[in-house]
Structure 1
Amino acid sequence: MNLILFESTETDRPLPRADRRAVHIMDVLRRAPGDTFDVGLVNGPRGKATLVALGADDMELTFQWGPAPPPAAPITLVVGLTRPQTARDILRDATTLGVREIHFVRTEKSEASYAHSSLWSSGEWRRHLLTGAEQAFDTCLPDVTHDLTLAEAMAQLPSGAVRLACDNYESPGALGEVEVSREKHYVIAIGAERGWSARERDALRAQQFSLVHLGPRVLRAETAVLAAVAILRAKFGLM
């Protein structure tokens, strides 16, 4: 991890030696008492931590905070509910690329059982956001939902956002050909592993989504998410 993240409630007590962050501090960063390293407060500032003392069961840290990182790119993802391992990859990597929201939605071609995975019920999903943010040297975590239908998610999207839906079959043009403005918010909708149904394409169009494609090759859902976000970020001048 390039940045070690802490919740605001964790900074006034020792960090257990068994915690993954303590293991990283000791075994990867090889810090000793008196040494410093980069830290961040979840959805807050970045700064430096100092390893003050090392006990048998925990370590004592002090923190000095600096400015907060810039906000995430104005991108919202709407993704058809995927199998848990694919969702893990999307949660981590979309956070690394810096999106503001991720909505996993139930679609006609997604498996209903995916919504009941322990990924969601145990709260594991948030750990993948933390991993993605730590990789990116960032503190901002996207807002995430996983229990909405496509129609419910569309009803909650930011007003005035530019709406784009990736589709291999009926899209008239490429996402890379869309003109963008950094002053606008963009919503990218990507179907589950088997894509959108005909009825969902009609529903997306009815909600002012323009269908776009990512080229002639059929991509895995997690690859399509990364490609679409990377294209938009590049057009924003962020890559």
Structure 2
Amino acid sequence: MNIILFDRPEVELPLPPSDPRARHILDTLRRKPGEPFEVGIINGPRGQAKLRATNSPSLKLDFEWTAEPLPPPPLHLIIGLPRPQTARDILRDATTLGVAAIHFVRTEKGEPSYASSSLWQSGEWRRHLITGASQAFSTQLPVVQSSQTLAEAVATLPATNRIVLDNYESAEVLSKCAFAANQPVTIAIGSERGWSSGERNFFRDQQFTFAHLGTRVLRTETAVVAALTLVKAKLGWL
């Protein structure tokens, strides 16, 4: 953790010794009472905290907030709902790189059972966002949707700079795509089996530009990192 994140109500409460953040403070950072470390409120300010001297096994912290968060870049992802482990990687790494929203959508070639995974049903998905934000020294978590149809997701997203990655019917490499300046970007990436012909027609109707990442077919989680990196570099959002 490059920053330890808290939900706002937690800053008023002692940190139990079993909490992984307590172990990180004591065992990894090796902080003693009065020594500062970096903290943040999820979707709120950053600052520093110090341990109070106490005989209690729970950690009592004093917080000082110094910096309001910068908004995430206006990048939106549409991802064909992948297997749970792939989704975990995407949640973490897309948050680390910085996006406004991730829409995991049901697709014609996708596996329907992935939507009922404990990742989504238990709320585990949010933990991976926090891990990604902690790595990035950020407090900002993207908005996440996990059960929309493709049409429902597209209907909520900006109409500018729409890109769909497809290895079969795209003629242009993503790094050479033109983008309207100072406008949000949406990137659609299929699941393991890719997009159907019907979904490709839908993207055309919705004014998406077809692009690819090169001649090699990438895993979904790798394509997400590559696409975000290319677009952010091209637009100066790094």
Q: CA-to-partner distance for each residue in 1:170-193, whole Å, 9 max, x for gaps?
A: 011011001335510000000001
The one-letter code matched in structure 1 to 2:69 is P
Question: In the alignment, is residue 162 of structure 1 matched against residue 161 of structure 2?
Answer: yes
- Contact preservation (8 Å) 1:53, 1:61: no
- Contact preservation (8 Å) 2:175, 2:230: yes
The one-letter code matched in structure 1 to 2:151 is A
CA displacement at 1:154 relative to structure 2: 1.1
**Segment of structure 1 superposing worse, 172-181 or 26-35:** 172-181
The one-letter code matched in structure 1 to 2:33 is P
SS in 2 for 1:33: coil
Identity %: 58
CA displacement at 1:121 relative to structure 2: 0.4
- Rounded to whole Å, the distance in 1 between the matches of 2:118 and 2:56 is 33
SS in 1 for 2:37: strand
Corresponding residue of 1:115:
115
SS in 2 for 1:53: coil
With the length of structure 1 as denominator, give the TM-score of the two structures: 0.97
Corresponding residue of 2:91:
91
- Contact preservation (8 Å) 1:175, 1:228: yes
Structure-2 change in CA distance of 1:64 and 1:75 (3 Å): same
Corresponding residue of 1:18:
18
Runs of at least 5 residues in structure 1 that lack an aligned partner in the other structure: none
- Rounded to whole Å, the distance in 1 between the matches of 2:12 and 2:229 is 38
The correspondence of residues 176-195 of structure 1 with structure 2, limited to 5 A, is 176-195=175-194
Corresponding residue of 1:231:
230
SS in 1 for 2:60: strand
Corresponding residue of 2:104:
104
SS in 2 for 1:164: strand
SS in 2 for 1:89: helix
SS in 1 for 2:40: strand
Q: CA-to-partner distance for each residue in 1:57-86, whole Å, 9 max, x for gaps?
A: 301001000122321111000000000000
- Rounded to whole Å, the distance in 1 between the matches of 2:49 and 2:3 is 11
- Contact preservation (8 Å) 1:181, 1:236: no
Corresponding residue of 1:197:
196
The size of the alignment, in residue pairs, is 238
- Rounded to whole Å, the distance in 2 between the matches of 1:230 and 1:173 is 17
Q: CA-to-partner distance for each residue in 1:151-186, whole Å, 9 max, x for gaps?
A: 11111113x331100000001101100133551000
- Rounded to whole Å, the distance in 2 between the matches of 1:57 and 1:106 is 46
CA displacement at 1:53 relative to structure 2: 2.8
- Rounded to whole Å, the distance in 1 between the matches of 2:20 and 2:160 is 39
The correspondence of residues 5-44 of structure 1 with structure 2, limited to 5 A, is 5-44=5-44
Q: CA RMSD in A?
A: 1.1
With the length of structure 2 as denominator, give the TM-score of the two structures: 0.97
- Rounded to whole Å, the distance in 2 between the matches of 1:54 and 1:194 is 56
- Rounded to whole Å, the distance in 2 between the matches of 1:99 and 1:179 is 20
The one-letter code matched in structure 2 to 1:38 is E
- Contact preservation (8 Å) 2:74, 2:184: yes
Corresponding residue of 1:175:
174
Structure-2 change in CA distance of 1:201 and 1:84 (3 Å): same
Runs of at least 5 residues in structure 2 that lack an aligned partner in the other structure: none
- Contact preservation (8 Å) 1:49, 1:62: yes
